[in-house]
Each structure stands twice: as structure tokens, then as C-alpha cells.
Structure 1
Amino acid sequence: MARVVHDMAAGRTPISLLSVARVRATGASGYLAALLMEAGVVPTENFDRIRLEVWEEEYFGTLPNPTHRSLLKQYAAWIVNPRFTDAGHLSTKDESLRHRGSKAHLIAVSELLSTLDSLNLDLGTVPQRTFDNYVATHGRTGKQLTPFIRWARVRGLTRLHSEYQQSHLGTSSASDDERWAWAKDLLTAEDLGLNARIGGLLSLIYGTALTRVVSLRRDAVKLDGDSTYLSLGTEPIKLPEVLGSLVRRLLDTAPASLHDNNIWLFKGQRAGRHLTTAAIRGPLAPRGINLRSARNVALMILARDLPPSVLADLLGISIYAAERWSTHSGHDWADYPRVRITTEPR
């Protein structure tokens, strides 16, 4: 990146995110892109989208069939690339994961088209049974072809049917006692950084996904005397005193930003970006803490104790997810609206 910056300063390379994206992708290239945007040198754009478009240009150029190239370019432009809507250094999502997933998806679509080509078939002539066999023999990759097939069907390019894989909540291998033992460990684990401790506790206690945890903003925390409130959804949650004290310590020790717009509670190393999920999950793994299993337990217990509408407001999850967890917990809240209405004062 030092060479890239030198070439930009000397006028040999345009000062743009595209110039950085054309260099081999590394942590340094992502940092430079975020730094240029944070400093106001270039307009704020989603760097992962630009990187993906550069990769698409190179990859599509290697495809021998011009029809396939044209079809994939249209699909990428209309469906895949617009998913990167947030500005890169102000994103609330882990765009790097989406970037890798998008590349894998486009490669899977390309492989499907190549296979059909080798069978002297195309999207308009392939029998449904042949496509189903292809999906069945390609495992997870085959099942992820649904967005492309549905897009092609809307455009009248195929009559194939493809269904999204049903989402399963699954069962947890952790017990509630293990979950609280892990929480107790993190409350006193001074050998761990505050980011890992607080992020892990929020996931253990409230079942919050790490992607949501790391994207919390500083203004989600409200201080009221000795009480600390955190907004995961539309309704703030009063944190237990010991957890609230950790959050206050995090606010006091957060590193300074290049400017005065340090908006993230869990600030990352890259300019203007929040912490990655790996930075929280990594230190907890050696201690045997399974956040995914514990999160399932937390959500199941919370869904058993709280109606779906209340759960959705507190945790910031969709009402559909809250209802699914409620069903999974075995608790029926069908009479909750009636009970709530009848208990209100006249």
C-alpha cells in the first residue's frame, strides 16, 4: 500500500477506491480504502462492492461462452451488487463475508451454466428432473442457486422451479447451567479484553447475534445515574449492574477516532469500521465458550418467558423470528393479547 499511496501522490495512479480495489485484496488494502474515505479524500462508497465489481470483470472475462458472460453480468448488476447498499466504513453488516459469499454464488451459477452447456442444454430446455439431480449432487452449493433461478424465471429465461432451503432453528448442545457458568466466567475474566467480555455477555444473556453486537453504536447506551440502559431494539434494556459497569468502562477506554465521529461502541482497527465478529469470538473459543449454542438457549428461554411482540421490541429481531423461537420453546402465547386487554384498567 505504500507504493500505491506513493503512486497516487506522484500522479501515476488516480486517487480513487477503484485504484485500491485493483490491487490484490489484503487487510492493508481495505484499511487504505477506509482511511481515504474517513479522511474525505474520496467519496464514501462501499469498497466491498467496488472490489466485487473488479473481480467480476476479471472472472467473467475468463468465461468462454459469450452468452454466459452477458447473462452473469446482468444478474450481478441487478441482483448481486445492489446488496452492497451501505457505505463501506459506515456499514452495520460484515460486508467481507457477503463479498466472499457473492463471489462463491456467482461461481456456482457459472458452473451450472457450464454443466448445462456440456449437456447441450440451456436454461430454457433443461428438464426439471435434471436440475433437481444437479442440486441434489452439489449439496449446499446447489441449494444456493435459488435466487438465480427465480430471477431467470421472472425474466422468462426458464421454467425451472427452485425453493429456498427451509430455515431450521436446530437444537442446542449447551445447557442453561453452562450458559450461566460461561457468563460468570466473563464477568470476572480480567485477562480478557473488554470487547470480548462484553460482546460475549450480550450474546450469552440476551441471545444477540455477534453481527448485531459489533454494529452497536455508542448512542445505543444511555446512562441514568447508576443505571445503564442498552437499546438492542426499540425498547431499551436496563443492564445488570455488573454488566453495566463493564459497558461504562468500555465507553471510557474507547480509542480516539481520526475525527470526532467515533460512532461505534466496539470500534475496529480500520478507520471508521466497527470490530469484526472474529475479534470477539476468537478469544472466547479457547475458554470453551460456544456462543452459538448459548445464544440458542438464551433465545429459547426468553421466548418462553416473553410474548413474541415484546421479545421483538427488546432484542431488535423480527416478529417472525420471535414467533418461531416462541414455537420452538413450546410456549403458546395465543391468549396474550386477550389477557393484556382484560387486565387494563377501564
Structure 2
Amino acid sequence: MIENTFCLSCSVESRVQDLLTDPGGRVHPQLAGVATFLLDESPTERTHQLLNRAQWITVLRSLIESGDPITHASLDRLKQGTHVRHLRSVLVYTGVLEDRGHDLDTVDAWIDELLDGLPHEIALLLRPYASWSVLHRARHRARRSAAHRPSAGSVSRYARTRITVAAQFLTWLTDNDLDLAGARQADVDRWLDDGTTTRQRLRDFLQWANSHHLAADLHVPALGREGLPQHLLGDDQRWALLRRCLRERELDLRLRVAGTLVLLYAQIPTRIVELTTDDIVTDDTGTHLILHTVPVLIPPPLAALTSELLEDNEQRPRQQPPDDPVWLFPGSRPGTHFSGSRLSTNLNKTAGIFTRPARGAALCALAADLPAPVLADLLGVSVAAATRWSALAGRDHLDYLAARIDNPPE
């Protein structure tokens, strides 16, 4: 009797070969790096799961079956979604495609799809705003920040968020028998009050509409500039949440570290997820975290959590080229970090930490102890913003300035 032995590794290797074989019966010449990624860099069990149910695998197979070269343009022509974005990141990581630094080319197709689902009158208003204003500035933003390695998709999110919020507001006006030309401040205030702070991104659209004589001079508070007192956690709440982050082992480790950084150092999720292992420096004096450009000595409990997070990350397969930054909060797509917006959502829903009031409380506490210029350097905020927080904290720093005069830095 011959004993049949199931070999998962052999099965996966055969299926990867089938996946990457073109209509001519050869492994697609572009995709040798993808084979290496699936067979050598990913655990066999993980590749087995991907082959069974990952949508990006299905999309890749359809592109291979077409027999055409795989390019950014061929991906741009597909309906955009998480699976297409993930496939693009895999193809960039494996060297099939060059990293173009942003995915703005996909936004054009997304705009067409969005406008096709809206009433004709709303689409007519949104088209010039989306194409001539938002996308124009987004492309300039992408070129300007390319040297600083902007987070993947950040420029695209900048564009999509503003366009989506404008579409939601115009739809709300229509549902309430109103139009943009006749909208008044009370209408804007009511719409803002009924939603999240994301709606304040409407400010950009209303400024554009007013400059083109399509709307009255309607006002939306700038995020982080107005209404500061009502967006602060109480001191007791802040310390209770800090204790939870530092002590509650049932809470996800990433949320514990991220929550502490929000509550202690007023960091925002989009900056937290951009931290790399190079931003954590340990020496004889302790563990330092580089905030903006300044190394800050962090307390031992946070240092212990950070060390634990680094150890956890080392257990995961490294899905990025050796020269790329090693993210402290790695994402699911190769070479990317975790999503800032998703981290914010997880902090809210799982840890009970609402970013804006928590960050406001931390800023107020820091401003009570540090002069505005020092706070600005530490956190990378403007001196004007730091000054506002110092005023809110109710402290002046004449004693600090006097000490600097008596003991100038060497």
C-alpha cells in the first residue's frame, strides 16, 4: 500500500507556479520577484491562505491571463479598492513596478465613479472643484513632499476626503430642499454639529465656492485652532487612560504604545504610525524617542512597552527591502506602515481614547511646563500654535526667560 502524504509546501509551490504562468505556459517574466515574495519571504501557511481567499491574488491572475504588460496604468484602469491598492504595493515591493510615491492617478477614475452616482447638478458643481482645485494642489503637495517620503496614500487621502465631504454636504443641502447659493451659516453649523470633525474639511470647498461666487462667505472652524477649551480631557481622565495604557495587558500592545504617545506627548496618529525603529534610541541614560527632531527621554514603563513592541515586530516576516525604514507600526501591505486613520478609530473604539480631546489635554499639560518656542521645537508645531496652548494653560514663562538670561546656553 502506498501512503499518500500531503505536503503543504509542495502544494503551495505548485499553485504559485500556476498563478504566475502566462497564456504561453511560461512564468510571467515580470513576476520572478512575486514568486520570491510568496515562496521565500512569506510563511507557507500565510501564502496558502492568500492563494485561497485574497482578492489581490485574483486580480493579479486576471492581469496575467490578459497577456499584457503589468503597469501602473493597467492597475489605474481597474475599479479602485483595498485589493487593488494591496496588489500595487506588492508589485512595487517586488520590483515589478516603480514606486511613484503617490496614487493620485487612481483618483481621477475614483472621481468619475463618485460623480456618476450623484445627481447631475451636484456633479456639475463638484467636477471643477475636484479636478482644478483639489487635484491640482494635491499634485503640488506630492511633488513638494516627495523628498520626505510621505506616507503611502496620504496625498490621495487628502484629495478624496475633501471631495467626499463636499459631496456629502451638497447632498445634504439637496435632501433639505436647499442649494449652495442659498445656503446660510446656520445651515453649515447644523450640518457640522450633526457629524464628526471630518466634516470640518468642508472649509476648503466653501472657500473655493465663495472665491468663484457660488456661495456666500460661509465659515467653518479650522481644526485645532478654535474651540480649544471644549476639546480637553480632564486631568483625572487623562491619567486614568494613561494608567490603562501602561498596565492593562489585555489591551492590544500597539494601542497601548500609541495611546501613551497621544496622552503623554500629544502625538497625532498620522505621525505615530510614521515612527521607525531608528526613532527609538537606547543608551546609558535610558530610552529616547525622537519627536519631530528632538530626542526625548521617555519614562521606563513606556520604554518597556516600546521594547516589547519592537520584539513583537521582529517575530513577523520582514516584507520590505533592507534599505527601507523599519516601521514601529507596520501595515498589512508590504513596505507600508499602519493606517493613521485606522489607528485613530481603534484608539477610540477599543481603548476609549478620543484623539482630539486627549491630545488637547496633553498639549495643555506640556504648555504649562514648557515655553512656546521649546514646545514648538519638541512637537513640530508652529510657535503661534504653541503660544495659544501656553495661553490656555494659563502660564507665563518669565521665570524661564530670566533663567536663560542669567545662564545662557553654551
TM-score of Structure 1 vs Structure 2, range by shorter chain: 0.7 to 0.9
State whether structure 2 residue 357 is matched by structure 1 residue 293.
Answer: yes
Q: Which residue of 1 aligns with 2:84?
A: 29
3-state SS in 1 of match to 2:384: helix
Pairing 1:50-65 to 2, within 5 Å after superposition? 50-59=105-114
Q: State how far apart, in whole Å, the 1-side matches of 2:127 and 2:355 are.
A: 43
Q: 1:198: how far off? A: 0.9
- Does residue 1:43 correspond to 2:98, yes or no? yes
**Counterpart amino acid of 1:218?**
T
Q: 1:98 corresponds to which residue? A: 158
Which letter maps to 1:35? V
Matched residues in 2 for 1:326 and 1:92: separation? 30
Partner residue of 2:338 out of 275, 284, 291:
275
Residue aligning to 2:321: 259
In structure 2, do the counterparts of structure 1 residues 343 and 37 end up closer, same or farther at CA, with 3 Å as the change threshold? same
What TM-score do the two structures reach when normalised by structure 2? 0.67
Secondary structure of 2:230's aligned partner: coil
Q: Is 1:186–1:197's contact at 8 Å kept on the other side of the alignment? A: yes
| Partner Cα separation in structure 2 for residue 218 and residue 80 of structure 1 | 29
What letter corresponds to residue 270 of structure 1 in structure 2? R
Contact 1:214 1:266 in 2 (8 A): yes
Indicate conservation of the 8 Å contact 1:61/1:69, yes or no.
no
Aligned match of 2:305? 246
* CA displacement at 1:221 relative to structure 2: 1.4
Amino acid at match of 2:60: V
CA deviation map 1:260-280 (0-9, x unaligned): 124311111111211124346
**Residues 132-173 of structure 1: CA deviation (Å, up to 9, x unaligned):** 46964873499755534655776x777964555353324246
Deviation digits for residues 283-310 of structure 1, max 9, x if unmatched? 6744544444332221111111111111
Measured after TM superposition, the shift of residue 29 of structure 1 is 2.0
Structure 2 contact 372–390 (Cα < 8 Å) conserved: yes
Q: For 2:61 and 2:309, how far apart are their aligned partners in 1?
A: 37
- The answer for the alignment partner of 2:244 in structure 1 is 185
SS of 1:230's partner is: strand
Aligned pairs, number: 333
- How high is the TM-score relative to the length of structure 1? 0.78
> Which stretch of the first structure deviates more once superposed, 20-29 or 264-273?
20-29
**Separation in 1 of the partners of 2:311 and 2:75?**
34
The 1:135–1:40 alpha-carbon spacing in structure 2 relative to 1, beyond 3 Å, is farther
CA contact (8 A) 1:267 1:273 kept: yes
- Provide structure 1 residue ranges, at least 5 long, that are not aligned to the other structure: none
Tell me the distance in 1 between the aligned counterparts of 2:188 and 2:312. Answer: 52
Amino-acid identity (%) = 27
1:231 partner SS: strand
Q: How far apart are residue 37 of structure 1 and its match? A: 1.6
Task: Report the residue type matching 1:203 in the other structure.
Answer: V
Q: C-alpha separation between the residues in 2 aligned to 1:280 and 1:110?
A: 27
Query: Would the aligned equivalents of 1:174 and 1:294 in 2 still touch at CA under 8 Å?
Result: yes
Given that 2:80 and 2:110 are in contact with CA atoms closer than 8 Å, whether structure 1 keeps it comes out as: no
Match among 252, 256, 266 for residue 197 of structure 1: 256
Give the distance between the partners of 1:290 and 1:92, measured in 2 at CA. Answer: 22
The 3 A distance-change label for structure 1 pair 147 and 182 is: closer
Residue 139 of structure 1 pairs with residue 191 of structure 2: yes
**Counterpart-to-counterpart distance in 2, 1:164 and 1:133:** 9
Q: Which one has a bigger Cα radius of gyration?
A: 2
1:174–1:293 contact (8 Å) kept in structure 2: yes
- 1:165 alignment counterpart: 221
